[in-house]
Structure 1
Amino acid sequence: MEREEAANLIPISRKPTGWGTRHTVAVMSFWGFAMSYAMRFNLSMAIVAMVNRTAELPLNNTNLSLSLRNFQASCANLENDNGWTEAYSMDSYEDADTEPNGEFDWDEAEQGLILGSFFYGYVVTQLPGGVIAGKFGGKWPLGLGLLLTAIFAILTPIAARTNTALLVTARIIQGLGEGVTTPAMHALLAVWAPPEERGQMASIAYAGTSFGTAATMVISGYLIKENVMGGWPSVFYVIGAATIVWFGLWCVLVYDSPAKHPRIKADELLHIQSAIGSQVSQTKLKTPWGKIFRSLPLWAILIAHTGHTWGLYTLLTELPTYMKLVLDFDIKQNSWMSALPYLVMWIAAIVLVKIADLCVAKNYLETLNVRKLMQIIAHLGAGIALIGASYSGCDRVATVALLTTAVGLNGASFAGFGVNHVDISPNHASVLMGITNTVSNMCGFVAPYVAGLLINRHPTLERWQIVFFIAAGVYLLDTVFYLMYASAEEQSWNRETVVESEPKSPFVIEEGPGASPPQLNDDANADAEAGE
C-alpha cells in the first residue's frame, strides 16, 4: 500500500536517512562479484601448485636444473640489499624447491590457454545477458549465472584430472555463466541507483571484484599450503560452496526494481523514482542498434574498457606465476603478495569513487570531467607504475610496490568508464555493458595467451619487461581516446523507438521471501506461438 501511494506523491528531493533496500542490493552485489571473481581467478593461484615445474620445460633434467637455478639466483639473496623483511625473504632456491611439485605437465603456452579458456565462454553471453536483463530485470540472470559457475567450479578438479580438454570445457561453461553478471548488474544500477549515488553504488558493487580476487589469492594459498582436502582441489570446493550459499540469500533479499520490492519504505521508493525521473522509461524500448554502434561516446567507453581488461587480466592471470618464477616466493608468500594489489584496488575504488561522487554532488566538477579525471588516474597512473615495475628487476620491495600501485589505481576506473554506460543511456545500460564487456573480455583469453607465448620456456626479467610494456602502452592509448571522445550526457537515442506492447517474460518470476526459481511462462510461450 505504501509503495502504491508513493507513486502518486509529489516528488521531493529529500534523501531518506539510514539503511535502505538499495544499500542491501549494493552489498549483496558486492558479495556476488566477490564470488564471481574468486571463481574466475582461483585457477590462477591453484595452477601454481597444479603444474609440475620440473617437467614443464622439454630439456634434460640436468640442464633444466642448472638453467632454472642460475636464473633464480639472479633474484636471490636480496634481503640485505633492499631491506626485505625476514617473513618475506627468500631462504634459498634449494629450500623453495622443496615445495611439492604439481601433477600436471603443462608448459606456459598450455597454461595460458587453460587460464584464458574461461573467457571464451564469458564473451558469448555478454550481449544476450544484457538484452535479457534489460527486458526482464537483472536479478535472475546474475543469480543463476553465478549458480551455474559455482556448480562447475566444484567439478573443476574432476575435469582437470580427467583430461585437459574437459578442464577447458568446464572453464568455458563457467565463463558462460558469469558472462551475464556485469550486464545484469548495470540493469540493476539503472533502476536502483539515484544519479548522485550512482558512482558510489557501482563502486560498492564492483569493489567486490578486487576484494574477491584478493580473498581468493589468500584463501587459496592457505588451503594449498596446509593441504586442506588434498590441497589445490579445495580451492574450487570452498569457493563454489560459498557461492551457493550466497545465491540463497540473493533470491530472498534482492529484487529487479524498487517498485517490486515488498519491504521498501515509501520515502526511499519516492527518493529513487524522483531522482531517476524520466531517464529510465517505464515502457519497454526497442534497442537502437545502429545509433548505438555509431555513437563515439560508446566507442570511448569500449576502448577504455578494453584497455582496462588487457592490463588487469594480464596481471590477474600471470601475477602469481611471476611471483613464483621471478621473485621466487613460496605458495603462501605468493598468495599474500599476489593479493596485496587487489586489496589496495578495493580500498582505492571506495575512496576515489566517494571523492568523485562528492565532486559531482557539490558541483566542484562536471560529471564528464570527473569521469576523465578518474580515467587519467586509473590508466595513466597504472601505465607509469608498470613501466617502473619493468625496470625494478630483482628488487622485491620496489616491484611489489609498483605492481600494487598499478593495480590499485585501476580502482578509479569504477568512477570513470565503469559507470559511464549509465550516464549516456540508463535505458540501455545493460546492453551497452554487454557490448563493451563482450569486446573487452576477448583480452581475457588473448592477454594471457600472448604473455604465455612471450615467456614460454624463458621466464626471464627481460621477457616480463615486454609484457609490462605492452600493458602500459595499451593503457596510454585507451586513455587518449577516452579523453577525446567520452561524454556524460544522456544520448538522444536513449528514449527513442517505443515498443507498442510490452513483451512478456519467458519466465514466471516469483518475488518474496519464499520465492521459487524462475519457471517457464506458458502465457508468453503461447503468445510467441500465436505470433509465428
Structure 2
Amino acid sequence: MLTVKNRFRVGVVLFCATAQAVRCQPLKMEHLSSDSETEEHVQPLLRRKDTGDIQKAPACCSSRYGLSLLSCYGFFVAYALRVNLSVAMVDMLKNSSSVNTSSSECPQHSNPVPKHNHTARVHDWNSETQGWILCSFFYGYILTQIPGGYLARKYGAKWLLGLGILCTVIFTMLTPLAADLGAGYLIAVRVLEGIGEGVSFPAMHAMWASWAPPLERSRLLTISYAGAQLGTVVALPLSGLICFYLDWTYVFYIFGAVGLLWFILWTCLVSNTPSSHKRISEVERNYITSSLKNELSPTTDYIPWASILKSLPLWAIVVAHFSYNWTFYTLLTLLPTYMNDILGFSIQKNGMLSALPYLGCWCLALLGGQLADLLREKYLIRTVIVRKAFTIVGMMGPAVFLVAAGYTGCNYYLAVAFLSISSSLGGISASGFNINHLDIAPSYAGILLGITNTFATIPGMVGPVIGSSLTKSKTIAEWQTVFYISAGINMFGAIFFTLFGQGTVQPWAVQRNHIQ
C-alpha cells in the first residue's frame, strides 16, 4: 500500500504527464481563433509559449504586406473610376459654365480664375436624369456581389478581381463616347462598369481569408481597403483640375490609363494563396498557413447556405453595412453638387474641397486598423468588443456632424469642417463591421461580403435619386432633410450591430468532421 508521501509523488507525475500530453494535442474546435469563446481572457494563439512552431514573419518587405499595398492601388483605381463622374458631371452640363447662379442661397465665390476650358461637348440633362446617371453604376454593381464571392472561393480571386477592374477601366474610357451618344448610352456604360467592379470587394475578402493572419487582419485589410478613400481623395480634386484646364473627357482617359498600369502589376506580382506564391519566404508561408489552418474549411465544394442565411451575426453586418453606405454613397455622388449649388465653389475648387472629407477618412481608417490589432494582440481585448466599439464611433460620430453641417448656413469653412469630420470618423468603422466577415466565417468571407455588399449597394442605387429629388430647389433646408435621413439610418445601423454582432468563428463556418 502506498504511503501518503508516495501517493503525492505519483499524483505529481501523473499530472505532469497529462499536462504534457495536452500540450501535444492538436487544436480542437474551441481553439479556432485567437480569442475564441473558451480563450477570451488568455494570451492569443500566436503569443502563447506553447505554440513555438508558429514563428511570426516580419512585416517589412513581406508578401502579405506587398499584397495589401497592391490591392490598395487596385481599390484606388476602382474608386477613382467610380467617383470621377461626380465631378465631371458638374462640367458636362450646359448650365455649369457659369459660376454665378441666382438659385443658390449662399453668395458665390468671386476669386479670379483662369478661363474655363469648354472644348468638350456639354449636355442638357435635368436633375432627375443626372440622378439616374450617377446611380446607374450601382445597378450593375449589385448583380455581381454574391456571384463574385462564390467564384472567388471556387476558382481563385486573382483573375476575377483583375479582370473585373480591367472591364471597369475599358468602359470608363468609353464614357465620353457614350455621353455624346445620349444619356441612355451613358447609363448603359455605367451599368457595365458596375458589373465589372462588383466582384472587387468579395474577391479581395476571399483572398484575405487565405492571406491575413488573425491578429493582423485589421492592419492588412485597412491598408488594402484604404485605397478606396485614397482614390476618392485623389480623383475628386484631380478631376476638377483636369476638367478645368483640359476638358471633362480627359478625366476618363487619364484614370483609365492608371488602371491599365495596375492590371499589369497585379497579374505579374500576385498569387491566390501563400502556397502558390513564387517569391514568398518559407518563414512567412509557414506563419500564415499555420495561423489559419484551424479556421479555414478544408473544402471549397460545400457551402452551408441555410446556416449562412440564418446567421444573426451576419445580418448584424448587413444592417450596419447598408446604413453606413447610405451616408457614404449619398455624399460620394452628391457632395460635388452640394459644393457647387449651396457653397458656391467653382469646378476648380470643387474637387479639392469635396476630397477633404475622404482624406480624413483615409487617415483614420489606417490608424484605426493599427489601433484595433494593438488592442486585440497587446491588451487582449476581445474581438467582438473592438469591432462594436469601432462601429459605434465610426457610425454615430459621422451622424452627429452630418446633421450639424446642415445648420452651418453659408459659413463655408464650418460646413466643410463638419463634413470632413463626419466622413473622417466614418473611416474608423473600417476596423469594425467591415472586417467582421473574416471574424465569424473566414472560409466564406467572400460570399458573406457579397451578401452584405448586395444590400449595401441599394443605398447607392436609390440614395442619389432621393437626394436629387429632395434638392430640386437647391436650398439649405432641402439638404438638411438629406442629412437627417442619412444620420438616422447611420444611428440605427450602429445600434443593431452593437446588439447582435459577434467576433468569433461561427459553428457552421468550419465542418467538424474535417477537423483532425
Same fold (TM > 0.5): yes
Q: 2:511 aligns with which of 480, 496, 502?
A: 496
Question: CA-to-partner distance for each residue in 1:275-323, whole Å, 9 max, x for gaps?
Answer: 1121013322411111111111000000000011100000000000000
The aligned residue for residue 503 of structure 1 is none
Note if 1:75 corresponds to 2:91: no
Cα distance in 1, alignment partners of residues 442 and 393 from structure 2: 25
The aligned residue for residue 478 of structure 1 is 493
AA of the residue aligned to 1:75:
C
How many angstroms does 1:182 deviate by? 0.3
Q: Report 1:216-231 matches (<5 A).
A: 216-227=235-246, 231=247
Cα distance in 2, alignment partners of residues 204 and 32 from structure 1: 12
Q: 1:197 aligns with which of 184, 194, 216?
A: 216
Assess if the C-alpha contact under 8 Å between 1:96 and 1:328 holds in 2.
no
The aligned residue for residue 442 of structure 2 is 426
Question: CA-to-partner distance for each residue in 1:35-88, whole Å, 9 max, x for gaps?
Answer: 0000111100100100122799xxxxxxxx9xx42x43x4227xxxxxxxxxxx
Note if 1:133 corresponds to 2:152: yes
Q: Secondary structure at the match of 2:452?
A: helix
Percent sequence identity over aligned pairs = 40
Question: CA-to-partner distance for each residue in 1:124-179, whole Å, 9 max, x for gaps?
Answer: 01110100001121111110000000000000000000011110000000000000
The aligned residue for residue 245 of structure 1 is 261
Note if 1:309 corresponds to 2:325: yes
The aligned residue for residue 507 of structure 1 is none
Note if 1:104 corresponds to 2:123: yes
Cα distance in 2, alignment partners of residues 473 and 367 from structure 1: 27
Question: CA-to-partner distance for each residue in 1:435-492, whole Å, 9 max, x for gaps?
Answer: 0111110111100010011112x01101011000000000010011000000011001
The aligned residue for residue 289 of structure 1 is 305
Q: 2:277 aligns with which of 242, 258, 261?
A: 261
Assess if the C-alpha contact under 8 Å between 1:310 and 1:447 holds in 2.
yes
AA of the residue aligned to 2:190:
R
Cα distance in 1, alignment partners of residues 124 and 512 from structure 2: 56
Q: Secondary structure at the match of 1:198?
A: helix
Note if 1:417 corresponds to 2:414: no
* Unaligned runs of at least 5 residues, structure 2: 1-50
The aligned residue for residue 465 of structure 1 is 480
Cα distance in 1, alignment partners of residues 86 and 309 from structure 2: 34
AA of the residue aligned to 2:421:
T
Cα distance in 1, alignment partners of residues 163 and 512 from structure 2: 31
How many angstroms does 1:366 deviate by? 1.0
Over the residues paired in the alignment, what is the CA RMSD in angstroms? 2.0
Assess if the C-alpha contact under 8 Å between 2:59 and 2:65 holds in 1.
no
Q: Secondary structure at the match of 1:391?
A: coil
Note if 1:158 corresponds to 2:177: yes
Note if 1:27 corresponds to 2:42: no
How many angstroms does 1:393 deviate by? 1.2
Q: Secondary structure at the match of 1:451?
A: helix
Judging changes above 3 Å, is the alpha-carbon distance between structure 1 residues 223 and 279 closer, same or farther for their aligned structure 2 residues?
Answer: same
How many angstroms does 1:19 deviate by? 1.4
Note if 1:12 corresponds to 2:27: no
Assess if the C-alpha contact under 8 Å between 1:194 and 1:272 holds in 2.
yes
Note if 1:167 corresponds to 2:210: no
How many angstroms does 1:257 deviate by? 0.3
Cα distance in 1, alignment partners of residues 80 and 56 from structure 2: 38
Assess if the C-alpha contact under 8 Å between 2:391 and 2:428 holds in 1.
yes
Assess if the C-alpha contact under 8 Å between 1:186 and 1:433 holds in 2.
yes
Q: 1:342 aligns with which of 352, 358, 366?
A: 358
Judging changes above 3 Å, is the alpha-carbon distance between structure 1 residues 353 and 55 closer, same or farther for their aligned structure 2 residues?
Answer: closer
Q: Secondary structure at the match of 1:158?
A: helix
Judging changes above 3 Å, is the alpha-carbon distance between structure 1 residues 241 and 100 closer, same or farther for their aligned structure 2 residues?
Answer: closer
TM-score, with structure 2 as normaliser:
0.86
The aligned residue for residue 13 of structure 2 is none
Assess if the C-alpha contact under 8 Å between 1:285 and 1:497 holds in 2.
no
Q: Secondary structure at the match of 1:125?
A: helix
Assess if the C-alpha contact under 8 Å between 1:24 and 1:253 holds in 2.
no
Cα distance in 2, alignment partners of residues 54 and 91 from structure 1: 15
Cα distance in 1, alignment partners of residues 316 and 379 from structure 2: 24
Note if 1:356 corresponds to 2:396: no
* Runs of 4+ with deviation above 4 angstroms: 95-102
Deviating more after overlay: 461-470 vs 15-24: 15-24
Q: 1:333 aligns with which of 349, 370, 373?
A: 349
How many angstroms does 1:15 deviate by? 3.2
How many angstroms does 1:10 deviate by? 7.9
Note if 1:381 corresponds to 2:397: yes
Q: 1:38 aligns with which of 65, 68, 80?
A: 80
Cα distance in 2, alignment partners of residues 105 and 200 from structure 1: 46
* Unaligned runs of at least 5 residues, structure 1: 1-8, 57-64, 78-89, 500-532
Query: What number of residue pairs does the alignment pair up?
Result: 461
TM-score, with structure 1 as normaliser:
0.84
AA of the residue aligned to 1:319:
L
AA of the residue aligned to 1:375:
T
Assess if the C-alpha contact under 8 Å between 2:117 and 2:243 holds in 1.
no
How many angstroms does 1:14 deviate by? 3.1
Assess if the C-alpha contact under 8 Å between 1:13 and 1:275 holds in 2.
no
Q: Secondary structure at the match of 1:124?
A: helix
